[in-house]
Amino acid sequence: MTELFPSSVEWFSVITLLWPGLLNTLWIAAMSLILSLAGGVLYAVASRSRFALLRLAMRLWLEAMRAIPLLVWLFLVFFGLPLWAGIDFSGSTAAILVFGLWGSTEAGEVFRGALRAFPEAQWEAAACLGLSERQIYRHVVIPLLIRQTVPPLMNVATRLIKTTSLTILISVVELTKAGQQIIERDDNALFIYGLLFILYFLICYPLSYCSGILERRWQQG
Amino acid sequence: MDWQFMLEQIPDYLSAIGVMLAVGGAAVFLALLIGGVFASLLQDTSPLIRAVICSYIEVARNTPLIIQLFLLYFGLPAVGVLLPPELCAVMALTFMGGAYFTEVFRAGFSALSEQQSQASYALGLSRFQTFRYILWPQVWQKQLPATAATACFLLRETTVVSAITVAEVMYTTTNGIAIYYMTYEFLTLMTISCVLVFVPLSIALNQLEHRWRHD
C-alpha cells in the first residue's frame, strides 16, 4: 500500500496519462451525440409517419434499446458483429455506434414529444398577424421547439458522457481505462478513482445544472 | 455452433441470472428505502439536511456507476476496507438508485397540495401519521409508474457490476469467452439470458403504465 496522494512528480505523469483518455471520452460522447441528434430527428419524423410499418419499426427500435441493457448491446456489437457479419470494429467505433443508436431513440422521443405538443394555435396566430412562413419558423416555431427540447437533450448528453465509462469493459482507452493503467503501474487506486469520480462530476454537473435552470426559466416564460 | 457445449453452460447461466436478480433486487429494495426516507426528510427539515440530501442526489446522478463501483472495490482497500464484490455492487447500485428514487418521490410530494398536511395536522394527526396515512399513499400511487421504471432501470444497470467480478451474466460471458474462445456460443447464451429477464420486465412495465394511465 502506497501513500494516498502522489507526490508532485507523479502528478505530471497522472495528467499526461489521463489527458488522452479524457479526450477520447469526450470524442466518443461528442460523436455519439451528433449521431443521436441526427438519428433522433429521423426517429421522430418516422414515428409520425403515415405508414404503420415504419411506426412499428421505430417502436421496436425504442423498445429494444430500452428493454435490453446498453452493455449487452455493446458486447453484441463489439464481440458479435465481427463474427456474424465479418465487420471488425475498433472499440471506439463500436461504442459510438451503440451509444448513437441508443441516443437516437432518447433524443427522438424528446423531438417527438415536442412535435406532438406543439400548439397549432401559435402557428395560426402568427399567420393572422401577417408573418410570412419564414418569419413564423424564425420567430415562433423554432424558439418554441428549442425551449422544449434543449433542456432534455442536455440530460441525454449527460447520460451519454456517463455511459462512455462503459467502454472500459470492451477495452477502449478512455478516461476510466487510462486511470486503470496508472493504477496498475502505481497502485494508488483510491486517489485515481477519486480523481475520475471528481472529473466526471465536473463534466456532467454543469450540464445537468444548466438543463435544470433552463427548464425552470423557460417553463415560466 | 456447439449446442452440446451450450447446454453444459446452462447451469452457470442460471446461477448468473440468480446473482443478477439477487444483487439487483437487494439494491432496488435498499434504494427504495433511501428514496423514501430522503424524500420525506426533504419535505420539512433544516436547510442543512436539505442541502446534504440535494448534494448527494447531484453527486450520485452525475457520476458513472462504474466509477462508483471501482471506488468501492479497488479504492477502499487503500484505507484498509476490503469488501466482497457482491456487497460493493449492492452498495454502489443503492447509492445511485437512492438518488433516483428520492427524485421520483420528491416530484410526487411537490404535486401534493400544501393544504393536505395542514388539514391533517388540524385533525390532530401526528407528523408521522400524516406522512404514513395521508401523504405517502398518494405519493406512492401517483408515482407508481415512475417508481417501477426506475426499478427496471436499476435492474438493467446491474449488468455493469460485471466490471468488479460479480459472477452475473456479463461476467460469466466475458469469462467464458476468455477461457474457451467460444465467442459465438457465449454471446448467444448472454443474449438469451438477457432477453429472458429484461423483455418480460419491460412488457410488465408497459402494461403497468398503460393501465395506470387509463384508471
ipTM confidence score? 0.90
Q: Is B200 exposed, middle or buried (0-12, 13-18, 19+ CB in 10 A)?
A: exposed
Task: Mutation target for A interface from B56, B63, B82: give the one with most A CBs within 10 A.
Answer: B63
Contact residues on chain A for B159, CB-CB shorter than 8 A: 69, 71-72
Q: What are the chain A neighbours of B194 within 8 Å (beta carbons)?
A: 68-69, 72
User: pTM of the predicted model, to two decimals?
Assistant: 0.89
Beta-carbon contacts below 8 Å between A and B? 114
Residue B9 gets the label, from left (phi > 0), alpha (psi -120 to 50) or beta, of alpha
The dihedral formed by the CA atoms of B149, B153, B156 and B159, expressed in degrees to the nearest 10: -160
Nearest to A1 among B70, B74, B78 (CB): B78
Question: Are the beta carbons of A177 and A193 closer than 8 angstroms?
Answer: no
What are the b/e assignments for B27-47, b being 16+ CB within 10 Å?
A: bbebbbebbbebbbebbeeee
Predicted local confidence at residue A99, as pLDDT: 96
Using the Cβ of A5 and the Cβ atoms of chain B, whether some distance falls under 8 Å is answered with no
CB-based contact, B189 to chain A, within 8 Å: no
Residue contact B75–A194, C-beta within 8 A: yes
Of chain A residues 62-91, which have a CB less than 8 A from chain B?
63, 66-72, 75-76, 79-80, 83
C-alpha dist (Å) from residue A126 to A41, A116, A145, A187, B191: 25, 19, 15, 65, 52
Contact B160 A166 (CB under 8 A): yes
In angstroms, the first-to-last Cα distance of chain B is 48
User: How many Å lie between the alpha carbon of A41 and the closest alpha carbon of chain B?
Assistant: 24
Whether B74 and A189 have beta carbons less than 8 Å apart is answered as: yes
Specify the pLDDT at position B215: 66
Identify the closest residue of chain B to A194 by CA–CA distance.
B71
Residue B23 · residue B158 · CB < 8 Å: yes
* Minimum distance, in Å, between the CA of residue B69 and any CA atom of chain A: 10
Q: What pLDDT, on the 0 to 100 scale, is given for residue A70?
A: 94
User: Do A69 and B198 make contact, defined as CB atoms within 8 angstroms?
Assistant: yes
pLDDT at B31: 97
> Which chain B positions have a beta carbon within 8 Å of A189's beta carbon?
70, 74-75, 77-78
**d(CA B80, nearest CA chain A) in Å:** 9
Q: Quick one: pLDDT at residue A186? A: 60
**Partner-chain residue, chosen from B58, B78, B202, that has the shortest CB–CB distance to A4:** B78
Residues of chain B with pLDDT under 70: 215
- Predicted confidence at residue A120, as pLDDT, reads 82
How many angstroms separate the CA of residue A139 from the nearest CA in chain B? 33
Asked if B79 lies within 8 A of A208 by C-beta distance, the reply is no
The interface residues of chain A toward chain B in range 157-176, judged by CB-CB distance below 8 A, are: 158, 162-166, 168-169, 176
pLDDT of residue A1: 44
Q: At what angle do helices B3-43 and B169-180 cross, to 10 degrees?
A: 150
Q: Smallest Cβ distance to B61: which of A75, A194, A208?
A: A208
Per DSSP, the three-state class of A171 is: coil
pLDDT in the model for residue A168: 84
**pLDDT beneath 70: ranges in chain A:** 1-9, 172-175, 182, 184-187, 220-221
